[in-house]
Amino acid sequence: MEQNQNIKKEEKKKIMDSEKNPCNICIWADNKICEDCSINKKLQCHLDLKYSAMFGGTFFIFFIPAIIGIFKLGVESLLFYLGLVSWIVYLVIFFLIWEPQMLCSHCPYYAEGGTKILHCYANGGFIRTASFKPHPMNKSEQIQFIFGVLLIGVIPYVFLIIGQQFLLLGISALGFVIWLIVLKTQICTVCINFSCPFNSVPKDIVDEFLKKNPIMRDAWEKSGYKIE
Ligand code: SF4
Ligand code: SF4
């Protein structure tokens, strides 16, 4: 009788585990498997708010001077409304539709099951609008992503130039460069979205991660990636 109950409990746990982790990705499995992982602590494979602070904190060095610059165009000016609306609409489309399709859907953070909300250090809390794709990003997606990130800065700057807000434009542009430098040197070196064009995790660590995740490994190898 007791044995039957234990078996039922085990089966229930397996169903719950597979609902939470339908692609069997290690970051969504029981943390116990990380204890003897050879790449433990070498990747940002569990939510760590230190990375959220770096990502968000430096983004605001760019964002705040740009938004002040747009407000300085004057609430009575058409330029102000055009700048504000086009930038906000672009940011919503970029972060909630375009970026998930081309970038985030390839990220193991997007493989979590049983929730519509994303739980990662950068876009945590956003609604998920795409399905997980275990294969790497293709060239077109990589180019779109670089272009899309540049547009985040270019759109407000067009209005700041027309409105001659050169000081705030300069401060914001410096913030944009700082944001990219922090991303590239502190975050991209440990980020688990390995096919992002900015990613700089060493190949041996990428290979180890893929070996732990057969569904991703299979999809990457079918795309031509070679594990050594
Ligand atoms: S790579 Fe996977 S198994 Fe290793 S520490 Fe990260 S989540 Fe755990
Ligand atoms: S970690 Fe980056 S690529 Fe992965 S889901 Fe979050 S924002 Fe997207």
Q: Is residue 119 part of a domain?
A: yes
Residue 110 confidence (pLDDT) above 90: yes
Tally of domains in the chain: 1
pLDDT value of residue 12: 52
Distance 36 CA to ligand 1 centre (A): 9
Q: Is residue 73 part of a domain?
A: yes
Name all residues whose Cβ lies below 6 A of ligand 1: 26-27, 33-34, 37, 39-40, 43, 45, 209, 212
Q: Is residue 221 part of a domain?
A: no
Q: Please provide the average confidence, as pLDDT, over all residues in the chain.
A: 92
What does the pLDDT look like over 3-33, one tens digit per residue? 555 655 565 555 556 788 999 999 999 889 9
Q: Counting atoms of ligand 2 from 1, which one is nearest the CA of 110?
A: 5
* Domain, as residue range, for 48: 42-184
Q: Is residue 8 part of a domain?
A: no
Q: Is residue 206 part of a domain?
A: no
Instruction: Give residue 137's Cα distance to chain centre.
Output: 13
Strand boundaries in 7-157, DSSP class E: none
With the most atoms of ligand 1 within 8 angstroms of its CB, the residue from 212, 215, 216 to mutate is: 212
pLDDT > 70: percent of the chain: 93
Looking at this protein, which amino acid is placed at residue 206? V
Residue 105 has a CB neighbour count (10 Å cut-off) of 20
Q: Count helices and strands (H / E) in the chain.
A: 8, 0
Q: Which two tokens stand for residue 10?
A: 């085990």
Q: Is residue 222 part of a domain?
A: no
